[in-house]
Structure 1
Amino acid sequence: MSYLKVRNVEIGKGTPKIIVPICDKTKEEILKTAKKFSIIPVDFDILDIDIVEWRVDWYEYYNDCEKIEEVLEDLRKILKNIPLIFTIKTNKSHGEADIKVEDYVNIYKEVCASKLVDIIDIEDSIGKDNMKDIIEFAKDMGTYVIATNHNLTHTPSKAESIETAKELEDMGADIIKIIASPHSKLDVVELLETTIILSEHIVKTPICAISVGEKGGLSRICGEFFGSCITYGVNRKKSAPGQPNIEDLSNLLKLIHKNVEA
């Protein structure tokens, strides 16, 4: 598995990189949260955050590109050299945005063209052709892409996940993300096994595999051993069920890293 360098963060090397989401409704709340993550580098290190994700679907004007770009301009100034992910999660994937596919595609393209974000996270609910369209445009604009496969009702089989990952890699994804819904501990094990196979034998693109909810908590902390490159922690408001506190997550990742190296 290769790695991806975004600003000063090497995704796919060492411990999984911690992403913290901003899930606020108003511009004022969004910027207030961002300022907590970017006071000075030493505070940033204490918080143990590698990347910030703006979950735009929580924003009251998630369908208004002009207002989105106004927020992004301020976020970019506040976050300085911290990598920023732009994500609109639709209600089809248990997100907050009730948005037409054509509007989703257009907003993502305009955001890429603005060059105000480092990475975009796009979901497969918009259809393969639309994913490919956005990825190709993002490449032209120099924006990295997380291509996300959501499985809201089940954990896919190894064969299904492998086929999906290869397809997303062929589309040009810079990070492949597979989200699964477990019904048992064995479902979590299934996804972790699949992650090893993908990262060591199938794809070169960095992989993120997460089993959501309380049953899947293990998948969020043991990524380095199984081959998952990023994980999500919470500072104030969760963007998905099962996300651990940043401090706890960071301590666990460091402990696992120490033992993996040993």
Structure 2
Amino acid sequence: MIKTLTVRGKEIGAGVPGIIVPIVEVTETKILEKAEAIRNLAIDMVEWRVDFFEHALEPEQVIHTLHRLREALPSLPLLFTFRTAEEGGEKEISPSEYTALNRLAAESGSADLIDVQIFMDDETARENIAAIHTAGALVIGSNHDFHKTPPREEILYRLRKMQDMGVDIPKLAVMPRGTDDVLELLAATARMHESYANRPIITMSMGGKGVVSRLAAEVFGSSMTFGAVGTGSAPGQIPVDRMSGALDLFHAAL
């Protein structure tokens, strides 16, 4: 049985999948302008993609901007994500710098959830998870493949490993080379949800072919999906104003 999570009044893991909107702006001014533009939309979480920020490798500046972002979005759950270049992000960062930055974000009290790349290496991942939980924040364990879709059993292995390592929400995103790859992702998601998951999971197939995985997330057991307001953070993200109706349509059918 899935144990849902509630973050700032938003329940994750039941009903209509929540919509996450990423902020991928470069300057603090633009980041706060985007926050103002989305704060009153019908969304469920905001992700700050810190690796896009011009001062992403300056911890003091990052935390300053994080506090200002929290002030601009007082009610919405805030996900702090530094996506490394190895998994499609904008900047290189060492494991020690990555761990220190995530710890500072968790300890700041301004981020509700911190993204941790589980396959950076086991030691780094476990250190991040422990530090973030000690600080009182939640962990989204993530893995991204922008080149291919692994076989079904490999997808299941990755999601189960994230869960076994103690993340609060396992998340996996893959790139399809054809429709068969999309079906592999959806089948693996359904099996994880029905047979192994005891907490919310998030999966998606990126790009145009993978759009169905974003819209039909609830059918297969994915608890959240990413929608774009302006510039998105990954291929295939659908504008929020179109996504809500589609998610509601699938939910009503179920």
Q: Same fold (TM over 0.5)?
A: yes
1:154 paired residue number = 148
- How far apart, CA to CA, are the structure 2 residues paired with 1:245 and 1:143? 28
Other structure's SS at 2:192 match: helix
8 Å CA contact 1:162, 1:202 repeated in 2: no
2:160 to 161, 166, 170: 166
The one-letter amino acid of 1:76's match is R
Taking the TM superposition and a 5 Å limit, the aligned residue runs for 1:95-174 are 95-174=89-168
8 Å CA contact 2:83, 2:89 repeated in 1: yes
Shift in Å, 1:125: 4.5
1:243 to 231, 237, 246: 237
Shift in Å, 1:28: 0.6
The one-letter amino acid of 1:70's match is H
- How far apart, CA to CA, are the structure 2 residues paired with 1:159 and 1:21? 29
8 Å CA contact 2:46, 2:79 repeated in 1: yes
8 Å CA contact 1:92, 1:125 repeated in 2: no
Alpha-carbon displacement from aligned partner over 1:147-175 (angstroms, at most 9, x marks no partner): 01222322122221222222111111100
TM (norm. structure 1) is: 0.94
Q: Which runs of 5+ in 1 are unaligned?
A: 39-43
8 Å CA contact 1:135, 1:145 repeated in 2: yes
8 Å CA contact 1:179, 1:211 repeated in 2: yes
The one-letter amino acid of 1:255's match is L
TM (norm. structure 2) is: 0.97
Alpha-carbon displacement from aligned partner over 1:117-143 (angstroms, at most 9, x marks no partner): 000112235212111111011111111
The one-letter amino acid of 1:237's match is T
Q: Which moved more, 1:238-247 or 1:157-166?
A: 157-166
Alpha-carbon displacement from aligned partner over 1:93-128 (angstroms, at most 9, x marks no partner): 111012122111110011111111000112235212
Alpha-carbon displacement from aligned partner over 1:204-232 (angstroms, at most 9, x marks no partner): 12111111111111111101111000100
- How far apart, CA to CA, are the structure 2 residues paired with 1:166 and 1:51? 24
The one-letter amino acid of 1:12's match is G
Other structure's SS at 2:238 match: coil
Other structure's SS at 1:89 match: coil
Shift in Å, 1:61: 0.4
The one-letter amino acid of 2:9's match is N
8 Å CA contact 2:82, 2:115 repeated in 1: yes
* Alignment pair present for 1:15 and 2:9: no
8 Å CA contact 1:124, 1:150 repeated in 2: no
- How far apart, CA to CA, are the structure 2 residues paired with 1:94 and 1:247? 26
1:204 paired residue number = 198
- How far apart, CA to CA, are the structure 2 residues paired with 1:149 and 1:53? 16
Identity across the alignment (%): 36
8 Å CA contact 2:114, 2:138 repeated in 1: yes
- How far apart, CA to CA, are the structure 2 residues paired with 1:63 and 1:126? 18
Q: Which runs of 5+ in 2 are unaligned?
A: none
The one-letter amino acid of 1:200's match is E
- How far apart, CA to CA, are the structure 2 residues paired with 1:125 and 1:62? 21
1:41 paired residue number = none
- How far apart, CA to CA, are the structure 1 residues paired with 2:195 and 2:158? 15
- How far apart, CA to CA, are the structure 2 residues paired with 1:146 and 1:127? 16
Q: Which moved more, 1:123-132 or 1:141-150?
A: 123-132
* Alignment pair present for 1:50 and 2:26: no
Compute the RMSD of aligned alpha carbons. 1.1
- How far apart, CA to CA, are the structure 1 residues paired with 2:197 and 2:158? 11
Taking the TM superposition and a 5 Å limit, the aligned residue runs for 1:169-188 are 169-188=163-182
1:227 paired residue number = 221
Other structure's SS at 2:160 match: helix
2:207 paired residue number = 213
- How far apart, CA to CA, are the structure 2 residues paired with 1:125 and 1:256? 33
Moved over 6 A (4+): none
- How far apart, CA to CA, are the structure 2 residues paired with 1:249 and 1:155? 24
1:62 paired residue number = 56
Between the two proteins, the alignment pairs up a number of residues equal to: 253
